[in-house]
Structure 1
Amino acid sequence: MIRYDALDALPVRGALPGLNDALEGHGTAVLVAPPGTGKTTLVPLALAGLLGEGPRRQVVVAEPRRIAARAAARRMAWLLGEKPGESVGYTVRGERVVGRHTRVEVVTTGVLVQRLQRDQELNGVDVVVLDECHERHLDADTAAAFLWDVRESLRPELRLVAASATTDAEGWARLLGGAPVVEARGASYPVEVVWAPPARPVRPPHGMRVDPALLTHVASVVRRALAVRDGDVLCFLPGVGEIARVAGQLGGLEGLGDVEVLQVHGRAPAAVQDAALAPGERRRVVLATSVAESSLTVPGVRVVVDSGLAREPRVDHARGLSALTTVRASQAAGRQRAGRAGREAPGAVYRCWSEAEDGRLPRFPSPEIKVADLTAFALQVACWGDPEASGLALLDPPPGGAMAAARSVLSAIGAVDAAGRATERGARLARLGVHPRLGRALLDAGAFGEAAEVVALLSEEAPREYGDDLAGALRAVRRGGDAYAGRWRAEVRRLRSAVAEMPRPPVGDSPPRGPKAGGWADASVDRLVGVVAALAFPERVARADGGSYLMVSGTRAEVGEGSALRGAPWIAVAVADRPVGEGHARVRLGAVVDEEVARLAAGVLREERDEVRWSDGDVVARRVERLGAVELAVRPLRDPGPGLVRAALLDGLHQEGLGLLRWSPDAVLLRQRLAFLRLRLGEPWPDVSDEALHARVEEWLEPELGRARRRADLGRIDAGQALGRLLPWASGEAARLDELAPERITVPSGSRIRIDYSDPERPVLAVKLQEMFGAQKSPQIAGVPLLVHLLSPAGRPAAVTADLASFWRDGYRGVRAELRGRYPKHPWPEDPAVAEPTRHTNARLRR
């Protein structure tokens, strides 16, 4: 019997006439309805005509998560007085509960995308509701784009509804061809906001890491809320590990009554999920991930404690790693979470951050299409017939770099051709419902039941207690009786069935053979685990190298102390992350493999080539067999090509500098003179800085460089003679080198003194003071007065001047008074400007 009392109490009922008008007139609509109004439950029942009003229609509702899909279907069935599988059913990966009379089917967005690939027209479906579209999951964006394409080109009568509590309504309306926006008024109760930041600063999240101090603070806020507020407490945390840690800190809630602690997340047993969604006899604390933000009503909740954190996918393209990462939750997520406290009565939300911080939070979550691994998306759009996704209706276009990386992976596994179009193999991979990498492993080793077991284990994050050894994790899940093991067994059955139902692969698409005629069929289970991991992640096959592992991609990774992987010569890394402050990745899940498996899996990355490079201070010539960045075999190369040698020598000059050449004092002086002329006169005098000389190496260092084979040969090259090639011979200016920048200059005493050009800004003439007597002004070169260092008879600086006349007039008197007593045999005339210059002492002059 239909529960009309519960249905009539749902505020969204008032928006149904407007929604029906929008769908009848336009065929599409955007429904904006606050949490708790009934958009997920009442709207699909009304659109299907199951409430005795309106035409009978077949409705598909797409939810972003499995737990939400099952819960929504159960709630709608309860409202109709039925069980799931009658008028309302659901389909999630590995589980289908529908019947002949099902009118509303709730599916995950991933299931909907798969269904669209098999049946683009969605035959028999009248309305599709995309629920919680504000979360911007990649599958949801993909499904929306495909549905709009279907409506535009194949089925204009197909009705589409984008529904959410908080969303970019104008953007979705634009995406759906100018769809009307229908708003439902909420009847939620007021929620008091309590700002509850930690007393001391906590470290920001990084990767999967959350500061334990913050989790301790969250647990204390939960205790505080229990003590001063009525009702159940719903606490939002980013992941399963954080939920377990906070649950451990909430043990023994003495003095707060009979309190039950529930842990709700995607991996929680169905019984726990059901318990959270049903009224409890005891007071409850529900620790939940973001699965509880939307589509689920947790009855009895009057208080929300929000850690302010969420998990989003990220790709580290530099290391070839993709994983979930912890981020600050958006303002939209904060509103969704807070709304859970006011669904049934006035409530409160405790936000574990300051009000000032709140204004700096992002408005909406990052769309997955902007930050996630796009390999699966790229395969889906290729199978759809639009490899660039340029003709699809997407709120945000996929980033070009991420799409290029995705196509590179798809090309390597044979899923797309050179033009990016899906191959037959690619179509088969898309139908498996797992990441293309895992699909590749399943197809190429799928003749054996264990392959499906390993792929199922890799398709969903395994419990941390299973360890980092994939073979050990497989043994653990086989023995396991927990919710994860149950889902794993269902997924194994699904994968085996999917492979069995596929047509035989075309010629040239057979799986790689193992070491014996029977392929890998007679391999041990542990070895087959490694084969599957290596086939799925060929660029993460890694060899032990010192204290870490070097992946064929070039990324280094480390395994934890006590790991079963430690000490293995080769491993295949399935899951890795990067710890805070570390340059190396950390292996979270991997498998031991041998070199034969490594060569098999990463064979497309194998190459053998001559390598001539500058290493350890000299030219090293080798014939190298590589698997990506990993060297497999090396032997000396006796007669390397001249071009390779030349490139290695140039690299050596870049690494160690032009000092590798022979720089005589004359060569050094020539370079300094040229640097002075370049600075003072510019063209045509050459730039002789290191950068400029490296850029023009062909002009000045050939043919000497062409004859060199090793470091010692560089040391025999006369740098001065080579530099001479850069002089401006063509213009004739080279003949003026000694005039404009002479090596030596004649001073009044007749001596020829060398000029010091080490500072091109101001060349220096260091000369004994007595040799400059009679000079009326400082000598010049290229119009620049030299900086004269006037030396004592002992050759020590006595004075520095660029204006000799001024020095004779003002500075000489003090120098004379200081030095003539110390050097009485040398002349110290009263007027040096008219005195006779000399290189000799008074004694010699008298003789």
Structure 2
Amino acid sequence: MIRYDALDALPVRGALPGLHDALEGEGSVVLVAPPGTGKTTLVPLALAGLLDDGRPVRRVVVAEPRRIAARAAARRMAWLLGEKVGESVGYTVRGERVVGRHARVEVVTTGVLLQRLQRDQELAGVDVVVLDECHERHLDADTVAAFLLDVRAALRPELRLVAASATTDAEGWARLLGDAPVIEAQGVSHPVEVVWAPPVRPVRPPHGMRVDPALLTHVASLVRRALAEREGDVLCFLPGVGEIARVAGQLGDLGPVQVLQVHGRAPAAVQDAVLSPGTGRRVVLATAVAESSLTVPGVRVVVDSGLAREPRVDHARGLSALTTVRASQAAGRQRAGRAGREAPGAVYRCWTEAEDARLVRFPAPEIKVADLTAFALQAACWGDPDATGLALLDLPPGGAMAAARAVLSAIGAVDSAGRATERGVRMSRLGLHPRLARALLDATPAIGANRAAEVVALLSEEPPREYGDDLAAAWRTARRGGDAYATRWRTEARRLRTASAPTPTGQSHAQPPAQDRLPGEPSAEALGGDGLAAGDVAVTGAGEVGGAGTVGESRPARDGRPVGGAGTVGETPPARQGGPVGGAGPRVGGSAGAGDDQVVGLVAALAFPERVARAQGGSYLMVNGTRADVGDGSALRGAPWLAVAVADRPVGAGHARVRLGAVVDEDTARRASAPLHAEGDEVRWADGDVVARRVERLGAVELAVRPVKDGGSGLVRDALLDGLREDGLGLLRWSPDAEVLRRRLAFLHLHLGTPWPDVSDDALHARVDEWLEPELGRARRRADLARIDAGQALTRLLPWATGDATRLDELAPERIEVPSGSRIRIDYGDPGQPVLAVKLQEMFGLHESPAVAGVPVLVHLLSPAGRPAAVTADLASFWRDGYKAVRAELRGRYPKHPWPEDPATAEPTRHTNARLRR
């Protein structure tokens, strides 16, 4: 029996008339409703016509970003109808399906819906799709929205779309949905008191997956404070599973207060307990899964650590992982709202009010920061390899898409034009990241379907830290374990074993019983991918993604015409030299008889061939050039070769850290990373000279090296140029005259410009062909460079063609004649103003300072001993104002030299008074 009292209490009910009108008119709408108003539960029931209000019967699909939210929403809606889950309301998540033949509302994860769209672009039998919590901007959700808009534009204009969220960019979503109307529901707002409670002492900011233990200690103390100061249950937000465990450990025994931990890895029983009213006070430690989609009854207090997890790609190290960031303002509002859903409450925030104003408004869209390999495969299977035709709020970064396409090409998922191959379509249907899909398909013939599925399942959801960093040991622990992770692992392994079984193109890998499928429903929906939030499960690689497309299907275009195919049957691109991932078809000795280390090593190496690593100098060098360390006491330490499945970079460390890896032998490394294999002569500048070697390598890892007598002339020349760049042009022979010539040319280039050449290091490197040939072409080693006369070579850059070269001595002479008749060298060391250092007596009678190329020379007037007595660029001014002081100081010290009272009219001389008298 329908619980009308509970339904009538939901504030979103007042927005239903406008919602119905918008869908009947424009066919799409943006619904903005605060938390707790019923947008996730009441709206789908109303749209499906299940409330006995005379509305037409429709089939509604609700897409949630997380599995836990999908299950909870379905159970809540079934409760409101007075039914069991699976009757009028069911749910489908990866590996689990509870949907009866008469169900009219189905709650799915966005990953499952993505798979379904790839199999059946028309979504036969579906009338309305609700995209819930669209503000979280998960990549699967953005992709689903783009695909649905394509379907509406070309195949099913009658398909209705609702974008629903508590806090979102309503205007942006409205534009994306074709200027759709925005319907806002007013919630029953209970006041929430904000308590600013930063740590007493500063804490280190988060870095990678690391959170300062001092902050976690502070969070635990705040939970105790909240229990003492407030009534009701306490909901505490933390970034990840590890932080939840540490805070739970610090809370210890709270007596009658029950401590629950809720996250994507939590057992279903724990999740159900959290979402049900408790019999006593509770403390719920949760990740972001409790931010929006879930209502935790009894909560009156929220303790917010202010941290969240988001995916990031470390391009410099070739690592994809989750990272800890400051939560956005929107997330803070969502979290605080949990305290006021049922009654007035309070939120304790672990930061200051001033800091709050500086937080970003919304979380970063995944499409901007995550690995896009899975997204690129989805787009290719949809028929839009570049994703340029997809309606997206944010465009994917070009560099990330190029990197993703390179991976897909190397594993045979797309052809040279970026179209999905038959192999790529099959990969996309496995509900795995393409790397893991490649490993599953290519390892199965070598080690068997069971073991391949088990190891890939182990990689698809990173094992708990207590399982250790040795993948083989973690596999054995999961096989004998009875914990929640082992249970999920066994379920996923069974799913993968079934999903990877060869089937005819276009058919499903598993068929639900006919009586459990709705009319017109595509098959194998329960085998779809399951998109996960950053705080839910850390997925190796970049997250789980479903999706596929029947080979040869066309993607609908916005003008109603088909665009492109999904791929050519049987077309698999060859492995490319230097590609990012390896080829297929490896064999492990004895295949079925291979040991655990061999099996997990093969699978990990196939999934992450660029992370195959060789021991070198106390650390491991991956083939992608990244160095990594293993922990003290690790079983991996000392192995000659590793396949690194999970790695991160600790704070202040120059190397990555292996968090999960497997021991492999060199043969497996070579096979898995075959496209990165290269062999040939390498000539380079090393240790101050040219080194010629024949090198066999896997990417950055050198397998074998032997010296060769001589490399090719072109390679030697390039190595010498590298040496000149690294060690400088001083490797050439610079005589004093050559140095002077270079300075003169630099002076002329600065003051006169063209045609006088730039002779800076960068400019000379850029024009090396013009001035160092043929000497450079004849050189073979450093000693040959030292014999090249740099001055003679520089003369090739003089402007001979214009005739200006003959004016070099006129414009920038080496020496100039002074009044005494001496020819004094000009110092062009400072090209801004040349210097003339001359004895004071030799300049008597000269009223104006000399100039070269129109630039006055800075005159250093020297004492008879050759020491500077005065510096001037204006001789007339010096004779008039400065000479008297110099004369008074030096006349007594050098009485044998002339010191006339009027130097402007005196005779210049380079001799003493005695010499003058003779």
Q: Taking structure 1 as the reference length, what is the TM-score of the superposition? A: 0.95
- The aligned counterpart of 1:598 is 669
Residue type of the alignment partner of 2:52: G
Distance 1:355 1:227 in 2: 23
The answer as to 2:27 corresponding to 1:27 is: yes
- The aligned counterpart of 2:859 is 788
Distance 1:508 1:372 in 2: 26
Distance 1:330 1:812 in 2: 72
1:574 to partner: Cα distance: 1.1
Pair 130,683 (structure 1): closer, same or farther in 2 beyond 3 Å = closer
- The aligned counterpart of 2:585 is 512
Pair 792,143 (structure 1): closer, same or farther in 2 beyond 3 Å = closer
Pair 20,779 (structure 1): closer, same or farther in 2 beyond 3 Å = closer
Moved more, 474-483 or 488-497: 474-483
Q: Deviation per CA, 1:667-691, whole angstroms, max 9, x where unpaired?
A: 1122222223333433333222222
1:519-598 to structure 2, matched below 5 A, reads 520-598=591-669
Moved more, 677-686 or 244-253: 677-686
Q: Secondary structure at the match of 1:110?
A: helix
Q: Secondary structure at the match of 2:593?
A: coil
Structure 1: gaps (5+ residues): none
1:110-129 to structure 2, matched below 5 A, reads 110-129=111-130
Q: Deviation per CA, 1:166-203, whole angstroms, max 9, x where unpaired?
A: 22223223322333333333224222222222233322
Q: Deviation per CA, 1:465-496, whole angstroms, max 9, x where unpaired?
A: 11111111111111211111111100000000
Q: Higher RCO, 1 or 2 (CA under 8 Å, sep at least 6)?
A: 2
Moved more, 68-77 or 13-22: 13-22
Q: Is the 8 A contact 1:428 1:502 kept in 2?
A: no
Q: Deviation per CA, 1:22-49, whole angstroms, max 9, x where unpaired?
A: 3333333322222112222222223333
Residue type of the alignment partner of 2:587: G
Identify which of 811, 826, 851 aligns with 1:755.
826
1:269 to partner: Cα distance: 1.3
Moved more, 60-69 or 359-368: 359-368
- The aligned counterpart of 2:243 is 242
Moved more, 601-610 or 680-689: 680-689
Pair 733,413 (structure 1): closer, same or farther in 2 beyond 3 Å = same
1:842 to partner: Cα distance: 4.4
Moved more, 619-628 or 489-498: 619-628
Residue type of the alignment partner of 1:695: A
The answer as to 2:117 corresponding to 1:46 is: no
Residue type of the alignment partner of 2:766: A
- The aligned counterpart of 1:626 is 697
1:240-319 to structure 2, matched below 5 A, reads 240-253=241-254, 258-319=256-317
- The aligned counterpart of 1:404 is 402
- The aligned counterpart of 2:226 is 225
Q: Is the 8 A contact 1:88 1:98 kept in 2?
A: yes
Q: Is the 8 A contact 1:188 1:344 kept in 2?
A: no
Q: Is the 8 A contact 1:450 1:525 kept in 2?
A: no
1:14 to partner: Cα distance: 2.7
Q: Secondary structure at the match of 1:532?
A: helix
Q: Is the 8 A contact 2:588 2:602 kept in 1?
A: no
1:172-187 to structure 2, matched below 5 A, reads 172-187=173-188
1:618 to partner: Cα distance: 1.1
Distance 1:624 1:606 in 2: 11
Q: Deviation per CA, 1:398-425, whole angstroms, max 9, x where unpaired?
A: 2222111111111110000111110000
- The aligned counterpart of 2:384 is 386
1:229 to partner: Cα distance: 1.1
Q: Deviation per CA, 1:717-762, whole angstroms, max 9, x where unpaired?
A: 1111111122222333322322333323334444333333323333
Moved more, 502-511 or 606-615: 502-511
Residue type of the alignment partner of 1:602: S
Distance 1:165 1:361 in 2: 19
Distance 1:240 1:751 in 2: 86
1:458 to partner: Cα distance: 0.9
Residue type of the alignment partner of 2:12: V
- The aligned counterpart of 1:641 is 712
Identify which of 793, 812, 815 aligns with 1:722.
793
The answer as to 2:766 corresponding to 1:695 is: yes
Pair 370,751 (structure 1): closer, same or farther in 2 beyond 3 Å = closer
Q: Is the 8 A contact 2:61 2:105 kept in 1?
A: yes
Pair 792,572 (structure 1): closer, same or farther in 2 beyond 3 Å = same
- Report the RMSD for the aligned CA atoms in angstroms: 2.3
1:808 to partner: Cα distance: 4.3
Q: Secondary structure at the match of 1:621?
A: strand
- The aligned counterpart of 1:93 is 94
Distance 2:262 2:347 in 1: 19
Distance 1:737 1:506 in 2: 71
Q: Deviation per CA, 1:610-655, whole angstroms, max 9, x where unpaired?
A: 3222111111222222211222222223332222222221221111
- The aligned counterpart of 2:13 is 13
- The aligned counterpart of 1:169 is 170
Q: Is the 8 A contact 2:216 2:246 kept in 1?
A: yes
Pair 771,172 (structure 1): closer, same or farther in 2 beyond 3 Å = closer
Number of residue-to-residue matches in the alignment? 842
1:843 to partner: Cα distance: 4.6
Q: Secondary structure at the match of 1:252?
A: coil
Q: Is the 8 A contact 2:647 2:660 kept in 1?
A: yes
1:284 to partner: Cα distance: 0.6
Q: Secondary structure at the match of 1:359?
A: helix
- The aligned counterpart of 2:331 is 333
Q: Secondary structure at the match of 2:757?
A: coil
Q: Deviation per CA, 1:515-562, whole angstroms, max 9, x where unpaired?
A: 65x6x3332121110111111111111122223222211222222222
The answer as to 2:189 corresponding to 1:191 is: no
1:359 to partner: Cα distance: 2.2
Pair 160,756 (structure 1): closer, same or farther in 2 beyond 3 Å = closer
- State, as a whole percentage, how many aligned pairs show the same letter: 84
- The aligned counterpart of 1:205 is 206
Structure 2: gaps (5+ residues): 506-568, 574-582
Distance 1:727 1:187 in 2: 84
1:463 to partner: Cα distance: 0.9
Q: Secondary structure at the match of 2:6?
A: helix
Q: Deviation per CA, 1:582-623, whole angstroms, max 9, x where unpaired?
A: 332222211111221111111111122332221111112222
Moved more, 266-275 or 172-181: 172-181
Distance 2:242 2:181 in 1: 42
Q: Is the 8 A contact 2:588 2:668 kept in 1?
A: no
Residue type of the alignment partner of 1:416: V
Pair 267,738 (structure 1): closer, same or farther in 2 beyond 3 Å = same
Identify which of 344, 350, 353 aligns with 2:351.
353
- The aligned counterpart of 1:55 is 56
Distance 2:496 2:759 in 1: 67
Residue type of the alignment partner of 2:327: A
The answer as to 2:678 corresponding to 1:607 is: yes
